[in-house]
Amino acid sequence: MTYGLTFTNNSNEVVIDSEFSRLNVICKGTYAPTEEFNLGSTTIFPLVITSVEPPLVFCRPNTGGLGVISKVQVLGSPGAWTGFYVRTANVSTAQPNGRYFAATFGAQPVSTYGLRLWDGSSNLLFDSGTPSALFVRAFQNWTYVRSETGGTGSTKSFYTVPFSFPENEYLLINTFGMRMVTGAGSGRNVYTMWDFSAGILYAVTDGFSNPFAFFMPAVFAKLSN
């Protein structure tokens, strides 16, 4: 840049820049069962997120059993995002319990004191109460494992990637909220399954016309502090 502020860390990585926003964590917390006989979970953010685009929500199920994240919805509307909804698969999988954080490319005035930084268009880029989130890995090379047919006649296909379940890494769940295209009008559901006992991370697709091809990325991030 020709003028402004740039802050780098000991590894010469740019931490704060007065021209470009980073992925800022607006809020964080835990999620737990709230409805549907403890199969569903609605979490209300501690503050309204004012971005136009939906915030990026990252979750990590509590370690143990089969943790599932499905039916994802970000609640609210542009400029007023209020929370998110997730669901487990069924009574055989763990209830929806875990940790989350919600982030946007840009900051909100969260702290009552500290440091704030705006760009030349008066957009708030940094607030010292919003730590950064760091992308750590992404998978798109899923390996097909198997398919099975359920009682309703739909087909579930299972895919895996190598993953060691670090406690500090959270999965971006927004991409698991939309049905995927298939040869049938109803599409296919997609969810992620964390098999902690076997040490395997699955993506699962479920539909009545369920092709084998699957390339949806799984993106992970962690909190900067």
Indicate whether 143 pLDDT > 90. Answer: yes
- The model carries a pTM of 0.89
Q: Could you say which DSSP state residue 121 is in?
A: T
* Cβ count near 15 (within 10 Å): 13
The rounded distance, in Å, linking the Cα atoms of 68 and 193 is: 4
Residue 104 CB partners (closer than 8 Å, separation 6+): 23, 24, 26, 49, 51, 53, 55, 56
Reported as a single tens digit per residue, the pLDDT across 176-192 is 887 776 666 677 888 99
The rounded distance, in Å, linking the Cα atoms of 157 and 57 is: 25
Mean pLDDT on 198-216: 85
Indicate whether 99 pLDDT > 70. Answer: yes
Q: Give residue 49's pLDDT.
A: 96
Reported as a single tens digit per residue, the pLDDT across 34-44 is 999 999 999 99
Sole residue written with tokens 């994802």:
72
Reported as a single tens digit per residue, the pLDDT across 1-42 is 666 777 777 877 777 777 777 899 999 999 999 999 999 999
Assigned token pair, 21: 């926003």
